[in-house]
Structure 1
Amino acid sequence: MEEIRNQTRAFLSNYIKSQPLKDNDDIFAIGDVNSLFAMQLVMFIEKEFGIEIDNDDLDLNNFRSIQAIATLIASKRAAVSQ
């Protein structure tokens, strides 16, 4: 899970430059991102972690923080391995 958080933090740091991100910071509340960023984030997650984000997963709460993203990725991986 730490590797997922680190990779996600590295990606986000390209877009959010106003402050270093902590695991539970709300990346949308910070204000450095827009709707195009949300699509780039989904594409990054799918490519980097080899998972598919379904329509059911497109809840903003799944992408609000590094921890939320890591939890989503871990749960998608667990579902695939079952």
Structure 2
Amino acid sequence: MDEIKSKIKVFLTRYFRNCELTDDDDIFEQGFVNSLFAMQLVMFIEKEFAITIEIQDMDLSNFRTINQMVSLIQKKTTN
């Protein structure tokens, strides 16, 4: 789990410089995400963790926080 969080944090800090995100910060609520970045985030997760994000996974609640992304990745990699 820590390795997953670390990889997500490294990815996000490339885009959200000068911002220290906690694991439960809502990146949508804070205004960091636009539609282009949302697609980049999905593509990063798919490629980095060798999973496929299905239509039913495309719920904002799966991507709002680092913890929620980790949870989605864990669900997808244990099935």
Report the TM-score when normalising by structure 1: 0.92
CA distance in 1, matches of 2:53, 2:18: 28
3-state SS in 1 of match to 2:17: coil
* Structure 1: tracts of 5 or more residues without a match: none
- Paired AA for residue 61 in structure 2: N
Tell me the alpha carbon deviations over residues 5-43 of structure 1, each in whole angstroms, 9 at most, x when there is no partner. Answer: 010011011111242111000011111221100000000
Runs ≥4 in structure 1, deviation > 4 angstroms? Answer: none
Distance 1:74 1:49 in 2: 10
Please list, as runs of the form range in 1=range in 2, the aligned pairs for 1:36-55 lying within 5 A after superposition.
36-55=36-55
In the alignment, structure 1 residue 61 sits paired with structure 2 residue 61: yes
Using the alignment, how far apart are the partners of 1:54 and 1:33 within structure 2?
A: 20
Alignment length (residue pairs): 79
- Alignment RMSD: 0.8
Identity %: 53
CA distance in 1, matches of 2:35, 2:18: 18
C-alpha distance in 1, partners of 2:30/2:16? 8
- What are structure 2's unaligned runs of at least 5 residues? none
Q: Aligned partner of 2:6: which letter?
A: N
Q: TM-score, normalised by structure 2?
A: 0.95
